[in-house]
Amino acid sequence: MYWSLRLGVFIALFSACALPCYAKDRGPQGVDAAWVKAMKANDVNAVVQCYASDAVAWLPGVPSAKGEQAIRSAYAGLLSANTVKDAVLSDAVYKSAGKMTVSWGRFSLTLMPKAGGNPVVLTGRYTEVIEKRNGKWVYTVDHASAEPTGMQGAKQ
């Protein structure tokens, strides 16, 4: 009985320690999941952690952001003016080669302006380069563009 109890405790402790370690590296898709979670939490620090320190981000409506401070500033501007109510990445495609992945898809952000008014829904397309650096997957290039308007009859 004593050995069975010890074995049960060992298995429980091993499982509790092993599962979070396994969940940490969910591959390139894990970066997207972390970005969505950080955006929904309105947590600029968590958003910035999704990026490499030398990453470049081209986000809709703001100048190019190169490096951690510029990326932080771009997201801080967005989050200081709005509360993110929802963030969705869809139609995602991932093409990997070793420690590098290129991905693309569509995004949707539902923002509540802090100044008041109705929610704003931003939709668009994105392309990313995600690299595994020091055991962690991070964005090194993030290019998002707003969904084009006025393109009657064009396939999107």
Q: What is the pLDDT of residues 58-74, one digit of tens each?
A: 999 899 999 999 999 99
H or E element that contains 122: strand 120-133
| Domains present along the chain, CATH in parentheses | 25-145 (3.10.450.50)
Question: Is pTM beyond 0.85 here?
Answer: no
> Cβ contacts of residue 46 below 8 Å, gap of 6+?
34, 37, 38
Q: For residues 147 and 119, what is the distance between their CA atoms, to the nearest angstrom?
A: 17
pLDDT band at residue 4 under the 50/70/90 scheme: very low
Q: Is 26 left (phi over 0), alpha (psi -120 to 50) or beta?
A: alpha
pLDDT in tens, 21-71: 233 557 999 999 999 999 999 999 999 999 999 999 999 989 999 999 999
DSSP helix/strand/coil, 147: coil
DSSP H/E element including 154 = none
| Amino acid, res. 137 | W
Q: Which residue, chain included where needed, has tokens 């981000």?
A: 57
How open is the CA angle 136-137-142, to the nearest 5 degrees?
140
pLDDT of residue 16: 36
Quote the CA–CA distance of 136 and 124 in Å, as a whole number: 27
